[in-house]
Amino acid sequence: MDEHTVREHAQAHCEALVSGDIGLASKDMSPELASHMGPIVAMLPLPLREATIERIEMTGTAYHAVLRLTGEGGETVHLETRWKERDGRPTIIEASRQAEEPAAPATEPEQE
């Protein structure tokens, strides 16, 4: 398993999420993770308008991929996924919502 292969699978996962095919998206997950889809789906800003791979990097014995998911309402979340090789293919073994930085408060334009 290399970064290119993980990227291909992560991209297909993103496409499945945007199309709303949670069943297809779950095929990239370990059986343990797929059996607990409710909490994972609850993290997503559904329906999704866009899903992109923000970065992929090797961390220890797994690949860490951060997915940027944007809902139709404009909410964006970052989903951290950890991929390992299972049964000869890249598989998501962990997924969590990345903590978001609080938005800066809006400031009033200065009046002269």
pLDDT tens-digit series, residues 79-110:
999 999 999 999 999 999 986 654 555 555 55
What pLDDT, on the 0 to 100 scale, is given for residue 98? 83
What pLDDT, on the 0 to 100 scale, is given for residue 109? 56
Mean pLDDT of 28-53: 93
Q: Which of 54-71 are b and which e, b meaning 16 or more Cβ less than 10 Å from the residue's Cβ?
A: eebeeeeebbbbbbbbbe
> Does position 69 have pLDDT exceeding 60, yes or no?
yes
Six-digit token pair at 88?
A: 């000869």
More confident residue, 11 or 98: 11
Q: Which domains does the chain have, with CATH numbers?
A: 3-97 (3.10.450.50)
pTM: 0.83
Task: Report the phi/psi class of residue 20: left, alpha or beta, with left for phi > 0 and alpha for psi in -120 to 50.
Answer: left
Smallest CA-to-CA distance from 14 within 106, 92, 103 is with: 92
Residues 6+ apart with CB under 8 A from 14: 51, 52, 53, 67
